[in-house]
Amino acid sequence: MTSLHIDLGRQWRGGQSQALLLVRALLALGHRAELVARKGSPLAERALAAGVRVHPLWQLLRSESYALVHAHDAHGLTAAWLAGAARRSRLVASRRVAYPLSRNPLARARYRAARIIAVSNFVKDSVIESGLPAGQVEVVYDGVELPELQGGREPHGPRQIGCVGYLLPEKGQELLIRALPLVLARHADCRLLLAGDGPCRAALERLAAQLGVARAVEFAGHVEDVAAVYRSLDVFLFPSLAEPLGSALLSAMAYGLPAVALARGAVPEVIEDGRNGLLVGGAEPGAFAERVLRLLDDSPLAVRLGAAARQTVEQRFSADAMIQSTLQVYHRVLAC
């Protein structure tokens, strides 16, 4: 099978990670898979380092040499549509957000793809509610590679809680800082690690200072070695307000971390409260802090939930599961 993959993102986020994971897997399976990405972008650089053939945007004008074109982001889908890729190849488009589709006829025309791959049922429902046929949309959950588990953190010493994610309002890091004073009231040496950068960093730093918890918060900025972050944590926090799925959450669970998350977006498709993590119904600092304290105070519970979280990823959200599910979509599209 020959496929051309498009992702024009300028940053390295979950979508770019999934695109590269898929392309590398297709190559390993003996398929011809190539990539269109912005020159100098993190995706382009990492793909080149992995031996992937990376093309400039004009390669879309030659898409007849590929059986299938897969647009992994909205800009890539627009570029594919403008280049007429759907007239020469079977076009598949990933949908990673739950915003309603534009009612502009020209904007909606981009979604005349053979298949829309939604990253969750939450996203699939939003696409269908926007007016696209249900038969055009399939769910393929993101997948993460399973790390080799090492020994857990020593139970003594300062406890560390934290999250990994771009610092944006919808990612909910403000909730963590507002909940932190309540956590520190019982665990004075606890530390909150925020790995990631973004436009909200200055405001979050000011909030931490206003609440008197600045010394307990580490703003790590962009972190290359994200594995080291996961291995440093006792509890993973996922306060996203409307997450389409959550690659960082899946990665944390793959490391066997117990997680506290808001029951918003697609998160309830991943976490079952009390079985493989703890859910919080609303963005209320007291409720979030209470769940965090439950895990800090009850080590057996934290261990049990962490083990169940790892098992959930192994069974439903592994990289292999994502790759096989995507291949099945490709085969159905090409058989039409």
For 117-146, the pLDDT digits (tens) are: 999 999 999 999 988 899 999 999 999 999
Domains plus CATH for the chain? 2-143+318-335 (3.40.50.2000), 160-316 (3.40.50.2000)
Task: Please tell me the distance from the alpha carbon of residue 15 to that of residue 93, in angstroms, as a whole number.
Answer: 12
Task: Please tell me the distance from the alpha carbon of residue 330 to that of residue 23, in angstroms, as a whole number.
Answer: 13
* Collapsed DSSP state (helix, strand, coil) of residue 139: strand
What does the pLDDT average to over 97-112? 73
Predicted confidence band of residue 104 (pLDDT cuts 50, 70, 90): low
pLDDT of residue 61: 86
pLDDT at 171 over 70: yes
DSSP state of 132: -
Token readout for 62 is: 């030659």
CA neighbor of 163 nearest in space, from 151, 150, 172: 172
What does the pLDDT average to over 212-235? 96
What does the pLDDT average to over 245-272? 97
- CA angle centred on 174, ends 233 and 243, rounded to 5°: 75
pLDDT of residue 99: 85
Are 80 and 71 in contact, with CB atoms under 8 Å apart?
yes
Higher pLDDT, 105 or 14: 14
User: Given CA atoms 224, 225, 226, 229 in this order, what sign does their dihedral have?
Assistant: negative
Count of Cβ atoms closer than 10 Å to residue 292 Cβ: 27
Q: Which residues contact 210 (CB under 8 A, 6 or more apart)?
A: none
pLDDT of residue 106: 56
What does the pLDDT average to over 232-261? 96
Count of Cβ atoms closer than 10 Å to residue 82 Cβ: 12
pLDDT of residue 55: 95
pLDDT at 30 over 80: yes
Task: Please tell me the distance from the alpha carbon of residue 333 to that of residue 135, in angstroms, as a whole number.
Answer: 12
pLDDT of residue 87: 84
pLDDT above 70 covers a percentage of the chain that reads 96
pLDDT of residue 178: 98
Question: What is the reported pTM?
Answer: 0.91
Are 18 and 319 in contact, with CB atoms under 8 Å apart?
no
Mean pLDDT check: name the lowest of 60-69, 139-148, 310-319.
60-69
Q: Which residues contact 332 (CB under 8 A, 6 or more apart)?
A: 115
CA neighbor of 242 nearest in space, from 120, 107, 94: 120
pLDDT at 153 over 60: no
pLDDT at 151 over 80: no
H-state helical runs in the chain: 14-28, 42-49, 74-82, 85-88, 105-109, 121-129, 173-184, 201-210, 226-232, 247-254, 267-270, 285-297, 299-316, 319-335
pLDDT at 36 over 80: yes
pLDDT at 257 over 70: yes
Mean pLDDT score of the chain: 93
pLDDT of residue 136: 94
pLDDT above 90 covers a percentage of the chain that reads 84
Predicted confidence band of residue 107 (pLDDT cuts 50, 70, 90): low
What does the pLDDT average to over 83-110? 82
